[in-house]
Amino acid sequence: MSKLTLAQLNDWAVKFRDVINENREYLTALDAEIGDADHGSNMARGTTAAAEKLLADPPATVSAFGKTVGMTLVSTVGGASGPLFGTLFLRFGTTAGDVTELDGAALLAALEAGVNGVQARGKAEPGDKTMVDVLVPALAELKTQLDGGADLKTALQQTAVASATAKDATKPLVAKKGRASYLGERSAGHIDPGSASTAILFETLAAAVA
């Protein structure tokens, strides 16, 4: 497989909704330990709204896909996660442009723009115990896979594995951003909920092309 189609991107958003909803209580439990206990419900609401919009009015381009998902997440998720996940998709779509499919290089560029947008908006760096702790290593793994000649399916499968590993690696970290940072050293020993939902993002992207 050499290209990711618009239909697969739409399927990604639908799968993201499904798996977020399946893990709603898990995400809420994670957030109850170091946050406001609303991450699961917030993400479920936003991803459901985004998927419904895509299914009701399928976008004609990747740019439109990113705008639909991004704006919907910004307006429906709430908290810090809405603007951050929304920015990820908005930058993704803007960088991809008015195309209907993405090869590996174009997908990587779109995701890089999204991750850069998240970091610029949230002012977080790797090690701060945020979604950036999954985004950065996942992106690095995708680049490594593509540079090594892997096809998109294989590259995204390995990226999903890397994202799950990165999610687990947030457990010993001390939070330096967001609500969890108020706990100081007590935030260590808990998986960051934003990292968990970000790992699901890459898991479902891999599933959409499987």
Mean pLDDT of 54-80: 96
Q: Looking at the chain, list the stretches that DSSP marks H as alpha helix, in order from N- to C-terminal side.
A: 6-22, 24-34, 39-56, 62-76, 81-96, 104-122, 132-147, 152-168, 193-209
* Cα dist from 76 to 69, 79, 128, 169, 195, whole Å: 11, 9, 25, 29, 19
The structure's pTM equals 0.96
Q: What is the dihedral of CA 135, 95, 144, 12, to 10 degrees?
A: 60
**Chain mean pLDDT for the chain:** 96
Report d(CA 156, CA 143) in Å as an integer: 10
Q: What is the pLDDT of residues 121-162, one digit of tens each?
A: 999 999 999 999 999 999 999 999 999 999 999 999 999 999
- pLDDT band at residue 44 under the 50/70/90 scheme: very high
Q: Check residue 102 and report its DSSP letter.
A: E
Q: Whole domain around residue 164: which residue ranges?
A: 3-209
Q: Please give the pLDDT value at position 106.
A: 98
Q: Check residue 131 and report its DSSP letter.
A: T
pLDDT higher than threshold 90 for residue 180:
no
pLDDT higher than threshold 80 for residue 192:
yes
Total domains in the chain come to 1
The CATH number linked to 85 is: 1.25.40.340
Q: Please give the pLDDT value at position 181.
A: 81
